[in-house]
Amino acid sequence: MALMQIAEPGMAADPHQRRLAIGIDLGTTHSLVASVLSAVPTVMRDHEGKHLLPSVVRYLCDGDIHVGYPAVAAAGQDPHNTIASVKRLMGRGHGDVQTLAGHLPYDLVPGEGMVRLRTVAGEKSPVEVSAEILRVLKERAVETLGGEPEGVVITVPAYFDEAQRQATKDAARLAGLNVLRLLAEPTAAAVAYGLDKGSEGIFAIYDLGGGTFDISILRLQAGVFEVLATAGDSALGGDDMDHALAEWLMREGGDASDPLWRRQVLQQARTAKEALSAVDETLIVLAPSGRAAHEIKLSRSQLESLIQPVIQRTLPACRRALRDAGLKLDEIDGVVLVGGATRVPAVRALVEASFQQAPLTDIDPDQVVAMGAAIQADALVGNQREDLLLMDVLPLSLGLETMGGLVETIIPRNTPIPVARAQEFTTFKDGQTAMSIHVLQGERDLVQDCRSLARFSLRGIPPMVAGAARILVTFQVDADGLLAVRAEEMSTGGRSEVVVKPSFGLNDEEIANMLQDSFTHGAEDVVKRRLSEAKVEGERVREALITALAADADLLEPAERAALDKTNAALIQALSGTDADAITHAAEAVEAAAGPLVQRRMDSALRRAIAGRSIDDLGD
C-alpha cells in the first residue's frame, strides 16, 4: 500500500520534513494520542471522528481482539472477557489488588507475583492488555501522520511507583513503540498550558476522571517541575456521579436486582450527566421490561443536588495536598482542570469556590494531558528549536538498609530526575568479605515501614578490619523514574549491579499512606531511629571487645579485667532493653574501661611491627 501524507482536516500538510513523535495519555477510562501538527498540539481522531478511545479490551474466542467502543458495547453480554480499568492492575501483585478483585467483572488467575487475567484467549497480564490499547493508538497515529512515529511520551500518574512505570514501559515495547520517556500526568497538563515557558509559580492540578481523583501541587521553577504533594482518591470519579443518578432513576421502577436493567439505567445516567454539562434540561427514556417506556425530565440543578456529595468528596484530598505541601490557599498561582468529569459545571464552581480563583479551562480537560505529552515528545525528537528542559521528580525516597534495620536515604523524594547519587558504606565486622544490599522505597526511617524493591550481594571484599573497606553504592534514576543500583568495592573494584525491576508495586493508596505515615510518625521514628543507632553502636563496641579479649586478654591486670567484665555485663543488659540513653551510656562505660587494654594492644602491635628493624628504617 502506498503511503500517503494525510493532513488533519483544515490543516495544511507540513511543508518541512519533521520527525514524527506522539504523546499518549493512557487513562483508566479513556486513552488518547496526540501529536504536534503544524506547531499545534492536536489529538488524533478515529475513523468516526472520535478523540477518545475507551480503555477497554475484549478478547474473543476466535482470537480476535476488540478495543474501544466495540468492546464497551459488548461488556454487558461478555463481562468475563471484557477488560476495563486495567490501569488499576498495572505493576501490581496479587496482594496489592485483594480489595479490588471482588469488584472486577472479570477473573484474576489465583497465584503469587504479578496479577494475571483469565480470558477465552488464555491468561493475559495487565501489560498485554494495555499493549492492545497502545497498538490501536499507534495505528491511529501512523494513519494520521503517514508514517511510523519515531518515539512516544506516555503519561503516568505522578504517584506511580517503579513497578507501575516499568509495566507501562513494557506495554509500550510490546506495542512496538519507542518510549522517549514517561511523564507525570499533572506535569503534562501544565506543559499543555504553556506553564513551562518562563512561568514560575505553584500550580494545583485537579484531575477528576472516570474512576479516580488526583490532586497534585506542582512548583515550577527554571523549567523544573517539582511535585510538592499528591493526594487523591482511587475510587472517586464521574462513575460515582452516574451511580448516584442511576440510584435515583431506579426508584422510578424496574427490577433493581436485574443486572441488565441496572446497566441500561447506568448508561442512561451517564448520557444524561454528560448532556447536562452543556444544556439545562434533558429527557431520559426508561423502558423497564414488562412495563411501558416512560420519559423523565431531568434538570441540571436536580442533577447537581444528586451529585453534590460525590463532588464534595474531592475536598479532603485537596486540603491534605495543601497541608502536605506546607502551603496556604493564597499561595496557589493557578488551578488546572484535567479529566472528563471536570466538565460538570458544579465541579468547576466547587473548585473556584474552594481555591478562591477561577480555574484554567481553556484546553479541553479530556485532551490536556495527551497534548502536553505530544509537546514533550516533539521536543525530545528535536523538532523544537528552544531547548525544553523539563524534569519530573522522584515520587518516593530511595534508600538502603543499614545496620539495625534502618533506612539510609540515598535520593530523597522530590529530587528532579534523571539523577545519580553515590554514597560510601563500610563493613561492620572484621574480615567481612560480603555485603548484602537491600534497596528500599518510602519515607519512613525503619526498613519494616518501607517497600522492599530489591536485594543483592556484593562479594569478594578483601578481608579488612571493620570500617576499613570502602563500598561505593550508586543509585541512578533515569528520566522515567526507573532505578539502577550499583555497588563497588573501591580498593579492588569488585562490582555488583542490579537494575531494579520488582514484580509488583505499591498501589496509590499505599503511597498516599506512606507519605501520610511519614508525617504522622515522624516523632515516633526519631525515637526508634535513636534506639536503633544506639543498638548498632553498642553491638559494635561489644564485637570490638570480644575481638580484643580473644587476642590480648593477657595484657590486662585481674582488677582491670573484672571492671571491664562488669561494664560489659551492663552493656549486654542495656542492649536487651529499649532505652537508647542507657545503651549509649553503657557502651561509653565499656570503652572507658577498655582504655588500658586498647592502649597496651596498640603499644604491643607497634613493638611487633618495629621488632627486627634498624633505627634507620624508623627514620622520621
- Give whole-number Cα distances, 57 to 43, 64, 143, 169, 170, in Å: 21, 11, 21, 19, 17
Contact pick of 273, 413, 451, 535 for ligand ADP (by CB under 6 A)? 273
Kindly state whether residue 365 participates in binding Mg ion, applying the rule CB under 5 A: no
Q: Would you say 209 or 399 has its CB closer to Mg ion?
A: 209
Q: Would you say 213 or 225 has its CB closer to ligand ADP?
A: 213
> Which cell numbers hold the place of 191?
506543559
| Exposed / middle / buried, residue 613 (Cβ in 10 Å: 0-12, 13-18, 19+) | exposed
Instruction: List, in sequence order, every beta strand (DSSP E) within 269-380.
Output: 281-286, 294-299, 334-338
Q: How far is the CB of 360 from ligand ADP (least distance, A)?
A: 16
Q: Does the annotation count 239 as an active-site position?
A: no
- Give whole-number Cα distances, 479 to 80, 170, 420, 535, 576, in Å: 37, 16, 11, 39, 46
What is the rounded CA–CA span in Å between residue 531 and residue 515?
Answer: 23
Q: How far is the CB of 160 from ligand ADP (least distance, A)?
A: 13
Q: Which of 8, 78, 87, 214 is catalytic?
A: 87
Q: Would you say 156 or 346 has its CB closer to Mg ion?
A: 156
Q: Does the annotation count 25 as an active-site position?
A: yes
Q: From the list ligand ADP, Mg ion, none, pick the one residue 508 interacts with, judged by a Cβ distance below 5 to 8 Å according to partner type.
A: none
For the stretch 31-68, what's the b/e string if a residue is b when 16 or more beta carbons lie within 10 angstroms of its beta carbon? Answer: bbbbbbbeeebbbbbbeeeebbbbbbbbbbeeeebbbb
Contact pick of 46, 96, 161, 366 for ligand ADP (by CB under 6 A)? 366
Q: Are the beta carbons of 69 and 92 closer than 8 angstroms?
A: no
Q: How far is the CB of 192 from Mg ion (least distance, A)?
A: 13
Kindly state whether residue 238 participates in binding ligand ADP, applying the rule CB under 6 A: yes
Q: How far is the CB of 167 from ligand ADP (least distance, A)?
A: 17
Q: From the list ligand ADP, Mg ion, none, pick the one residue 30 interacts with, judged by a Cβ distance below 5 to 8 Å according to partner type.
A: ligand ADP
What is the rounded CA–CA span in Å between residue 28 and residue 54?
Answer: 9
Kindly state whether residue 210 participates in binding ligand ADP, applying the rule CB under 6 A: yes
Q: Does the annotation count 87 as an active-site position?
A: yes
Q: Are the beta carbons of 463 and 428 closer than 8 angstroms?
A: no
Q: How far is the CB of 84 from Mg ion (least distance, A)?
A: 14
Contact pick of 8, 21, 23, 27 for Mg ion (by CB under 5 A)? 27
Identify residues 301-340 at the interface with ligand ADP (CB under 6 A). 339-340
What is the rounded CA–CA span in Å between residue 268 and residue 254?
Answer: 14
Q: How far is the CB of 321 from Mg ion (least distance, A)?
A: 17
Q: How far is the CB of 342 from ligand ADP (least distance, A)?
A: 8
Q: Would you say 186 or 334 has its CB closer to Mg ion?
A: 186
Q: Which of 207, 233, 366, 480 is catalytic?
A: 207
Residues 6+ apart with CB under 8 A from 226: 218, 219, 220, 393, 414, 416
Q: How far is the CB of 340 from Mg ion (least distance, A)?
A: 8
Contact pick of 97, 177, 228, 344 for ligand ADP (by CB under 6 A)? 344
Comparing CA positions, the residue from 591, 583, 576 lying closest to residue 541 is 591
What is the rounded CA–CA span in Å between residue 207 and residue 338?
Answer: 4
What is the rounded CA–CA span in Å between residue 473 and residue 496?
Answer: 9
Kindly state whether residue 268 participates in binding ligand ADP, applying the rule CB under 6 A: no
Q: Which of 161, 170, 185, 233 is catalytic?
A: 185
Q: Are the beta carbons of 320 and 343 closer than 8 angstroms?
A: no
Kindly state whether residue 343 participates in binding ligand ADP, applying the rule CB under 6 A: yes
Q: Are the beta carbons of 38 and 12 closer than 8 angstroms?
A: yes
Kindly state whether residue 68 participates in binding ligand ADP, applying the rule CB under 6 A: no
Contact map string, positions 200 to 219, toward Mg ion, x by CB under 5 A: ---------x----------
Over 103-172, what HEC string results? CCCCEECCCCCECCEEECCEEECHHHHHHHHHHHHHHHHHHHHCCCCCEEEEEECCCCCHHHHHHHHHHH
Contact pick of 30, 320, 444, 451 for ligand ADP (by CB under 6 A)? 30
Q: Would you say 22 or 583 has its CB closer to ligand ADP?
A: 22
Q: Are the beta carbons of 318 and 215 closer than 8 angstroms?
A: yes
Q: Would you say 91 or 538 has its CB closer to ligand ADP?
A: 91
Kindly state whether residue 86 participates in binding ligand ADP, applying the rule CB under 6 A: no
Give the footprint of Mg ion on this chain (CB under 5 A).
Answer: 27, 209
Give the footprint of ligand ADP on this chain (CB under 6 A).
Answer: 27-30, 209-212, 237-239, 270, 273-274, 277, 339-341, 343-344, 366
Residues that are catalytic: 25, 87, 185, 207
